[in-house]
Structure 1
Amino acid sequence: MIKKHEIYKRDKWNMMTVEVQGKYIVLREISDQWGEESHTFLSRPALMNWAESRFPKEEFIGREDEWTDIMNAFKQV
């Protein structure tokens, strides 16, 4: 059974989803700048390490709520 989580969705060109497929965690990121990227993780800690480097807190100064929402979405996976 595949369980799908939406991390964020700004529109159909800017979104990130995570699917739990058995022991694999597959992240898909779609952006209008880079197209679609896919990453596969074998553990939740690996996913969280990636998320923390992909969304550095210092880039969200003045938008801390947005950063917290994104990190909370990852923690729900």
Structure 2
Amino acid sequence: MFKKVQIYKTDKYNMLNVEVQGKTLIVREISDQWGEECHTFVSRPEMLHWAQNRFKPEAFVGREEEYKEIFEAFRSV
């Protein structure tokens, strides 16, 4: 049994989910541009470090609220 946390979902082709499987965190990122990418992390800090590199604040200029929501979702995992 594992816990699945939705970080964001804009439609059925653009979403990011985190699956918690014991101590392992699996990030599944689905995009219409790149398909599905899977990232496996062994700790929360490692996953948050990846997220900070993946989601740069400058990419969310004018959409700061969306950026804030994404990181709140990551921190809740």
Q: TM-score under structure 1 normalisation?
A: 0.97
Quick one: percent identity of the two aligned structures? 60
The corresponding residue for 1:6 is: 6
Report the count of equivalent residues.
Answer: 77
For 1:57 and 1:4, the matched residues in 2 are separated by 25
Matches for 1:1-77 after TM superposition, within 5 Å: 1-77=1-77
In angstroms, what is the RMSD of aligned CA positions?
0.6
Query: What 5-or-longer segments of structure 1 have no aligned partner?
Result: none
Q: TM-score under structure 2 normalisation?
A: 0.97
Task: Give the CA deviation at 1:23.
Answer: 1.2
For 1:38 and 1:24, the matched residues in 2 are separated by 13
Deviation beyond 4 Å, 4+ runs, structure 1: none
Query: What 5-or-longer segments of structure 2 have no aligned partner?
Result: none
Task: Give the CA deviation at 1:61.
Answer: 1.1
The amino acid across from 1:62 in the alignment is G
